[in-house]
């Protein structure tokens, strides 16, 4: 793509943030009064996975809790791959960032004495999750931040733009190509800015069964990788054990807080299968619970989340979002077990970043789910992702404000049109779920790389598709290269965990080389 084809060029005064989920909006607010343009495909406040988050945000706020214990729980979940310094930094700064959200107006649930109500989730040693109206944390925090951003003069919000490629000069990121409209009518705009921040979310929608909105399909990861950025730990995808299995795409989520409240997992006979799998039963780490469901289903069983005893009649009032999804499907969760299945939910890997949220490319910062800070390791601790987005949003803002000089801005982009872009092809999503899912092996991963290559070939040079296939290729190639099982990555042909825990750092060229070798080995 080249500037000779663009319909307009916009010079942004300060930072350009791509993504209006919690990470992007929080970064923009922390940057104020530094000038910021926030670009997003969909409406700020309703955008990305953020608006769908149900559980809440983890922070050691209880009188019996400490940030050190929060950091320790994070390291345990991460199965040896977390960066301990990053886990400590995030757990330590959590309190201050929750205070920021309260100051912006986030309506966290409180106890009758006025203090914040704290919930428990799997693998947390203490009650430390702040919620909003039971299961509406993401929706309410997103709405609060979007309203605040709209009222902040230094922030310009532009929705309806679909970013497709980074612009580079002398190896430094200087701009972003974005389309408005789709097909022959599409107009291409080059947004140039002295600082570009990716807050583009995850990649769950590259899988056929996912809890993520369909806009979470790894395009930020793909764009950064195509520009040469180092990508870290892409093979680590978290599968949520309890997506509600009612044939909807994406699948609605039955929040982990339900299991925190005592809901149990049963098969069609009422057998509580987690008792035989892990001492913590339903509160075992997510990957353990998700794989147990996967194996029950592979063995021909049906799987249900039974909330009837633990929550019962209080369901509608305590978990209104989950209740609504169940009732729409003709299920009363107060009296009936909810059919559940594992679904692609969260990407632990992403664009490698440091403690200031800088990527390996000059001019590009990364925050939120698209970043790999080293916090999550091989498996994310529940409710640590919104936290990571705000901790690194603040750090990113500090770094940009301290190191980037705003410059005169000019140009007006064309009026945005309804967001439209090519969807990830079904064949790609199917291959990712079947072959790069909860259990992987060499033959399956090779087959997946060949499907990805075919999709890429058939798509010509469509940049949005290349962003998705690049993200899928990185996940699959890194999964093939990691010949062990650890956290969210389970190889049925390499079930043991290696003695040495090593993070993955690779470029797209490295992933291409792995794919080429796999092809050559298959042909031999
Ligand atoms: C159902 C569900 C429940 C969850 N519950 C919790 C929870 O309780 N606690 C927790 O900590 N985490 C939870 N998570 C995970 C958490 O919600 C996400 O990790 C987090 O919201 C990611 O925030 P983000 O700002 O990085 O990205 P997102 O909120 O996903 O935002 C991404 C933004 O990037 C934009 N974008 C992406 N690509 C492009 C492009 N090419 N062009 C233009 N715009 C683009 C999107 O439009 C969007 O604005 C949950 C996730 C899901 C799906």
Structure tokens at 203: 């990649």
**Residue numbers annotated as active site:** 286
Q: How far apart are CA 85 and CA 96, in angstroms?
A: 18
Residue 134 is predicted with a pLDDT of: 83
The mean pLDDT of the chain is 94
Q: How far apart are CA 447 and CA 468, in angstroms?
A: 17
Residue 304 is predicted with a pLDDT of: 98
Q: How far apart are CA 406 and CA 101, in angstroms?
A: 26
Per-residue pLDDT at 246 exceeds 90: yes
Mean pLDDT score, 87-111: 97
Q: Return the ligand 1 atom nearest residue 161 CA.
A: 43
Residue 357 is predicted with a pLDDT of: 98
- On whether the CB atoms of residues 32 and 145 are closer than 8 A, the answer is no
Residue from 6, 19, 7, 1 nearest 364 by CA: 19
Q: Name the residue of 257, 347, 385, 421 whose CB sits within 8 Å of the most ligand 1 atoms, as the mutation to test its pocket.
A: 385
DSSP E strands in 282-370: the ranges are 303-306, 338-347, 350-352, 364-366
CB of 21 sitting under 6 A from ligand 1: yes
CB of 48 sitting under 6 A from ligand 1: yes
Residues in the chain: 524
pTM of the model: 0.95
Q: What is the pLDDT of residues 7-61, one digit of tens each?
A: 899 999 999 999 999 999 999 999 999 999 999 988 888 889 999 998 899 999 9
Q: Name the residue of 1, 17, 19 whose CB sits within 8 Å of the most ligand 1 atoms, as the mutation to test its pocket.
A: 19
Question: How sure is the predictor about 153, in pLDDT bands with cuts at 50, 70 and 90?
Answer: very high
CB of 253 sitting under 6 A from ligand 1: yes
Cα angle: 490, vertex 492, 496; to 5 degrees? 70
CB of 47 sitting under 6 A from ligand 1: yes
Question: How sure is the predictor about 420, in pLDDT bands with cuts at 50, 70 and 90?
Answer: low
Q: Which range, of 143-147, 189-193, 281-285, averages the lowest pLDDT?
A: 281-285
Residue 470 is predicted with a pLDDT of: 98
Residue from 186, 143, 164, 175 nearest 52 by CA: 143
- On whether the CB atoms of residues 129 and 119 are closer than 8 A, the answer is yes
Q: What is the pLDDT of residues 471-512, one digit of tens each?
A: 999 999 999 999 999 999 999 999 999 999 999 999 999 999
User: What is the share, in percent, of the chain residues with pLDDT greater than 90?
Assistant: 85
CB of 200 sitting under 6 A from ligand 1: yes
Distance 56 CA to ligand 1 centre (A): 13
Q: How far apart are CA 409 and CA 236, in angstroms?
A: 40
Q: How far apart are CA 77 and CA 59, in angstroms?
A: 16
Question: How sure is the predictor about 410, in pLDDT bands with cuts at 50, 70 and 90?
Answer: confident
Structure tokens at 156: 């310009």
Residue nearest to atom 6 of ligand 1 (CA): 53
Structure tokens at 384: 């640590």
Mean pLDDT score, 134-150: 95
Q: Which range, of 80-89, 294-303, 402-411, averages the lowest pLDDT?
A: 402-411
Residues whose CB falls within 8 Å of the CB of residue 506, separated by 6 or more in sequence, listed in order: 230, 231, 232, 234, 474, 477, 478, 481
Q: How many helices (H) and strands (E) does the chain have?
A: 14, 20
Per-residue pLDDT at 387 exceeds 90: yes
Q: What is the pLDDT of residues 201-223, one digit of tens each?
A: 999 999 999 999 999 999 999 99
Question: How sure is the predictor about 3, in pLDDT bands with cuts at 50, 70 and 90?
Answer: very low
Residue nearest to atom 3 of ligand 1 (CA): 53
Per-residue pLDDT at 1 exceeds 70: no
Structure tokens at 158: 């532009």
Residue 2 is predicted with a pLDDT of: 46
Question: How sure is the predictor about 414, in pLDDT bands with cuts at 50, 70 and 90?
Answer: low
DSSP assignment of 225-264, as one string? HHTT--EE-TT-EEEEEEEE-SS-SSPPB--THHHHTT-E
Backbone angles phi, psi at 199, to 5 degrees: -135, 55
- The b-or-e profile of 136-154 (16+ CB within 10 A means b, else e) is bbbbbbbbbbbebbeebeb
Structure tokens at 305: 């989340």
Q: How far apart are CA 243 and CA 249, in angstroms?
A: 11
Q: What is the pLDDT of residues 160-179, one digit of tens each?
A: 899 999 999 999 999 999 99
- On whether the CB atoms of residues 45 and 138 are closer than 8 A, the answer is no
Residues whose CB falls within 8 Å of the CB of residue 323, separated by 6 or more in sequence, listed in order: 315, 316, 333
Residues whose CB falls within 8 Å of the CB of residue 451, separated by 6 or more in sequence, listed in order: 427, 428, 431, 435
Per-residue pLDDT at 415 exceeds 70: no
Backbone angles phi, psi at 391, to 5 degrees: -65, -45
Cis amide leading into 100 (omega within 30): no
Q: Which residues pair with 306 in a beta bridge?
A: 264
- On whether the CB atoms of residues 315 and 333 are closer than 8 A, the answer is yes
Q: What is the pLDDT of residues 349-385, one digit of tens each?
A: 999 999 999 999 999 999 999 999 999 999 999 899 9
């Amino acid at each position: 793509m080249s500037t000779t084809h663009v319909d307009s060029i916009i010079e942004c005064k300060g930072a350009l943030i791509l993504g209006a989920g919690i990470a992007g909006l929080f970064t923009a607010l922390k940057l104020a009064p530094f000038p910021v343009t926030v670009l997003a495909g969909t409406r700020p406040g309703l955008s990305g996975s953020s608006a769908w988050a149900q559980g809440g945000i983890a922070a050691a706020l209880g009188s019996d809790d400490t940030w050190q214990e929060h950091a320790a729980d994070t390291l345990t979940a991460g199965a040896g791959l977390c960066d301990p310094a990053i886990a400590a930094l995030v757990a330590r700064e959590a309190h201050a960032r929750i205070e920021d959200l309260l100051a912006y107006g986030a309506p966290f649930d409180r106890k009758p004495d006025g203090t914040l109500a704290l919930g428990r989730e799997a693998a947390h040693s203490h009650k430390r999750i702040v919620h909003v109206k039971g299961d509406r944390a993401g929706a309410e925090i997103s709405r609060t931040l979007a309203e605040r951003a709209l009222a902040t003069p230094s922030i310009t919000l532009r929705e309806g733009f679909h970013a497709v490629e980074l612009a580079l000069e002398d190896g430094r990121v200087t701009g972003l190509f974005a389309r408005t409209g789709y097909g022959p009518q599409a107009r291409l705009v080059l947004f140039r800015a002295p600082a570009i921040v990716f807050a583009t979310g995850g990649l769950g929608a590259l899988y056929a069964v996912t809890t993520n909105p369909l806009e979470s399909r790894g395009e930020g990861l793909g764009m950064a990788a195509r520009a040469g950025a180092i990508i870290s730990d892409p093979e680590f995808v978290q599968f949520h054990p309890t997506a509600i299995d009612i044939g909807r795409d994406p699948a609605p989520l039955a929040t982990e807080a339900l299991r925190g409240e005592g809901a149990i997992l049963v098969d069609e006979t009422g057998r509580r299968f987690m008792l035989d799998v892990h001492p913590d039963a339903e509160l075992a780490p997510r990957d353990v619970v998700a794989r147990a469901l996967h194996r029950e289903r592979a063995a021909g069983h049906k799987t249900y989340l039974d909330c009837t005893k633990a929550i019962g009649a209080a369901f509608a009032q305590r978990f209104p979002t989950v209740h609504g999804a169940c009732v729409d499907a003709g299920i009363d969760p107060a009296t009936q077990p909810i059919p559940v299945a594992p679904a692609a939910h969260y990407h632990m890997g992403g664009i490698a970043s440091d403690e200031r949220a800088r990527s390996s490319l000059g001019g590009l910062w990364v925050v939120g789910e698209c970043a790999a800070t080293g916090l999550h390791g091989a498996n994310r601790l529940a409710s640590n992702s919104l936290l990571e987005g705000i901790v690194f949003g603040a750090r990113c803002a500090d770094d940009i404000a301290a190191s980037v000089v705003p410059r005169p801005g000019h140009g007006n982009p064309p009026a945005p049109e309804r967001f439209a872009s090519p969807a990830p092809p079904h064949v790609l999503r199917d291959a990712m779920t079947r072959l790069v899912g909860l259990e992987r092996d060499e033959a399956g991963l090779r087959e997946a790389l060949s499907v990805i290559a075919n999709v890429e070939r058939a798509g010509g040079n469509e940049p949005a598709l290349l962003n998705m296939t690049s993200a899928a290729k990185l996940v699959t190639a890194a999964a093939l290269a990691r010949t062990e099982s650890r956290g969210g990555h389970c190889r049925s042909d390499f079930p043991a965990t290696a003695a040495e825990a090593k993070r993955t750092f690779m470029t797209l060229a490295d992933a291409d080389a792995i794919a080429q070798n796999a092809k050559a080995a298959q042909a031999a």
